[in-house]
Structure 1
């Protein structure tokens, strides 16, 4: 019971500290401190409650056990990271987003494609990944190529919708001004419409970054060589090695957060002029 009480005290202390930090003048340091304090508080409370209540490790291992497993399984985790993130998710992300961008330019050029393709895109985006993953695994084999294909399907239409919407985000006055300069379609596209579409494009890239990792991991549940995050999670659950499952989850969360954060930093550098980036 002492550990349970300690966990509650940690939670209360973290709450009070975050309330105090939130009242300080908003700076980069205080903006980072609030989630950092919240995260540390949650981990400490998790450790205290799991150990204090005697929760079996096959149900929920403590963070310390997960950390030990992370340190002892670095070669396995790295092999799974390369297979799932670098081969499956990243390759599918690049192919899917690139194809969606090219398709968006074609759709923007021909109005009948916008009317016909976008409703189909909304339908395809609603398809569950657990429905299409087994089919694509059978089509493309059990290696990373089938996982990349799943990622392409998942990221293509969200990216397409955002790109098409962004290319339309110019006013009539702006387009008339370009015509007064005798600018053709491609000149207007490059100098006016693509810069105006950048916030939408980055929004699509950020959405696709989370979908890519989810798609690659879930696709590995339906067939994979003896490596990969999805493969390791499914087999470790069957072996009741929940500490390894949580270690894979931590690696996936860190990889996804780093990927999303990198895109957000690039967005800030490219779209510094947009009101959403002003402080």
Structure 2
């Protein structure tokens, strides 16, 4: 084990020992027995300094700690000190497992068979468990921050509403505006590359468009295109146009002078050079713009809905439910938007790996 791993192992075992002591003196042994059992096993993990323990033992301790913390939330009000120490210990064991597992996985990363997904899953579950434990164990008011369990229950009970909002915002405004904005930026970049006059005239205008504040543009788009999704798609077009324009222009200039001279020796025309050399070389730049715009488009559509929309949409739902103090519904919309944006980004990344498989950044991924 590395120095960091030894430190994490010592810290996790030490916190477990302190928590066990607090647990034994705070009440009867049978009270919160699972928490105390986890703390006892965590303390026994200190034998790793005499007898080696595999990283799956740390995974088992992290899992047991998670279960014991979640089941022990409702036992005390407020939660005692050993509950919080158990939470810290389980988090440390999860960190230790991820650290050791990543070191083992790194040499054969490409042949891991999907095992690399374990690391982000453990990280995400740890965040949700800490969130749940703090909000419920410390009796945080639900108006300030609801626990994940409450948000999940709200999602399960509001699927028709969330689906209608998702259709209005993502499937209409985001996707259509994204395609139009990225497509327009790409076409204008080709025109700019072809004409020095357009490069001098359109690039400053593109910079001007990117600097327009969304809170000022959105009401104007609503007046121009109405309250339905076309006005939100127009805002998305404005937000996604400039990143695609700048990245495509930069990518078209990525081909080296030697490569361009080689195409001239073959008597290649401008369009042949563009299709066979310069566009493939610009692929990583174009996909960078597509990934950036995948998040900008969703943000732009949601914010634009704050300034006028039919009685449906993610932004509309967030603004109205905040006024009603239904914070769990607000977080449900945020969760749906986060998942949709992450999946959208992931799809673009997968397409990038298929298209630009030759690029060093993709080969080393």
Measured against the shorter chain, the TM-score band is over 0.9
Q: Which residue matches 1:92?
A: 177
Is the aligned partner of 1:262 residue 2:347?
yes
Aligned residues: 279
1:23 to 93, 103, 107: 103
Q: Which residue matches 1:8?
A: 88
Gaps of 5+ in 1: none
2:305 to 203, 220, 234: 220
Q: Aligned equivalents of 1:234 and 1:194: distance in 2?
A: 42
Q: TM-score, normalised by structure 2?
A: 0.74
Q: For the aligned residues, what is the CA RMSD? A: 1.3
Q: Aligned equivalents of 2:253 and 2:99: distance in 1?
A: 43
Q: Aligned equivalents of 1:104 and 1:126: distance in 2?
A: 18
Q: Aligned equivalents of 1:188 and 1:100: distance in 2?
A: 20
1:124-150: per-residue Cα shift (whole Å, max 9, x none)?
223221121111111111100000000
SS at match of 1:234: helix
Is the aligned partner of 1:165 residue 2:237?
no
Is the aligned partner of 1:108 residue 2:188?
no
Segments ≥4 residues shifted beyond 6 Å: none
| Preserved CA contact (<8 Å) 2:217 2:235 | yes
By relative contact order (CA 8 Å, sep 6+), the higher-ranking structure is 1
Indicate the larger mover: 84-93 or 182-191.
182-191
Q: Which residue matches 1:132?
A: 217
1:246 to 315, 327, 331: 331
Within-5 A mapping of 1:113-192: 113-192=198-277
Indicate the larger mover: 7-16 or 128-137.
7-16
2:356 to 253, 271, 274: 271
SS at match of 2:358: coil
How far off is 1:6 after superposition? 4.0
How far off is 1:4 after superposition? 3.8
SS at match of 1:25: helix
Gaps of 5+ in 2: 1-78
How far off is 1:156 after superposition? 0.3
1:38 to 123, 139, 148: 123
SS at match of 1:83: helix
Q: Which residue matches 2:279?
A: 194
Q: TM-score, normalised by structure 1?
A: 0.96
Q: Aligned equivalents of 1:172 and 1:247: distance in 2?
A: 52
| Preserved CA contact (<8 Å) 1:154 1:215 | yes
| Preserved CA contact (<8 Å) 2:105 2:116 | no
1:56-108: per-residue Cα shift (whole Å, max 9, x none)?
11111100000101101000000000000000000000011111111111110
1:219-277: per-residue Cα shift (whole Å, max 9, x none)?
00001100000000000101111111111111000100000000000000000001111
| Preserved CA contact (<8 Å) 1:10 1:45 | no
1:131-173: per-residue Cα shift (whole Å, max 9, x none)?
2111111111110000000000000011000111111111222
| Preserved CA contact (<8 Å) 1:7 1:49 | no
Q: Aligned equivalents of 2:325 and 2:86: distance in 1?
A: 29
1:82 to 158, 167, 177: 167
Q: Which residue matches 1:233?
A: 318
How far off is 1:12 after superposition? 2.2
Q: Aligned equivalents of 2:179 and 2:361: distance in 1?
A: 25
